[in-house]
Amino acid sequence: MTTHTITLGGDLTVNRIGYGAMHLTGPGVWGWYPDPDHAVRVLRRAVDLGVTFIDTADSYGPATNEMIIAKALRPYPEDLVISTKGGMLRTGPDDWANHGGPPYIMPLGRPEYLRQQVELSLVRLGLDCIPLYQLHSIDPTVPLADQIGVLAELQRAGKIRHIGMSNQPGVTIDQLAEARRYAEIVSIENLFNIADRADEKTLRHVEQEGVAFIPWFPLGHGDLTGPGSPLTPIAADYGAGPSQLALAWLLHCSPATLLIPGTTDVEHLAENIGAADITLTSNDVAEITRRVEALDIRPWRPVD
């Protein structure tokens, strides 16, 4: 049996299946979504279905993703937590194409830049205080003390409620420990899914530390779902579709997980949220893990 909610920072309780809004943008996560009215409908339907946590970033669009969220959902429901991120540059719609050549990820963690991005996100989202603000990618050229330190300053100023971290492909245990010297870190956002469990040690660590673990690409960048999904035969044994199985497994593998599956399809949205109704025993989780390992699925992950 798993709980359906998780509490961030001791005071923000959200449902554990949230919504990742990244794909409500143009091709290459660049520009406006081609049908903004549909994007609004998807966001409103997510809230109607019980989503209380929405993940975005200033680099999605850039900026347009935050703006469509505000258009769709302001005034925000009292229980809705908006999480946004900053500290990553964009160069155009092809820079995240994973083509193996530069640029792929371009972090920028200079304090003056992060300060500016927080202020811009506040304006675009129409908020006085961002419930959860995450450093999007750790800049190796800037001391982490400076990157987290400026977010802590903005937290003390009342512009950020809680601070989290993300990274490519994930925040390490050592990076988290260092960051916690400068601020309370309530979440990390790492690449993790049923077929790519490279960060399981980190997951177990934050589980013990009371830090939320937000798997990005929980459906393997789409490699684990859709027609011909390798998970379909396993999912059928549990009365689920492949995306539901992948999400239910994440919910049951640790109480620390907070999921942000993204979709632009209203039917798929309902299916994803329905994963919360699937009950798995610890034996089920172990058996599913064994069967997925035997398939040797290799979903997308960033080029090192």
Cβ-contact 93, 27 below 8 angstroms: yes
Token code pair at residue 157 = 């100023």
d(CA 80, CA 55): 11
Cβ-contact 56, 73 below 8 angstroms: no
DSSP state of 237: T
Residue 27's contacts (CB-CB under 8 Å, 6 or more residues apart) are: 93
60 catalytic residue (yes or no): yes
Residue 151's contacts (CB-CB under 8 Å, 6 or more residues apart) are: 114, 118, 133, 135, 160, 163, 183
Break the chain down into helix, strand, coil percent, rounded to 5: 40, 20, 45
d(CA 304, CA 301): 9
Cα 275 to chain centroid distance, Å, stands at: 17
Phi, psi of 92 (to 5 degrees): 155, 180
Token code pair at residue 300 = 């997308």
- Which one is catalytic: 60, 76, 133, 182? 60
Phi, psi of 268 (to 5 degrees): -65, -35
Token code pair at residue 134 = 């995450």
d(CA 57, CA 263): 16
- Amino acid in the structure at residue 105: I
Cβ-contact 260, 218 below 8 angstroms: yes
* Residue positions annotated with a catalytic role: 60
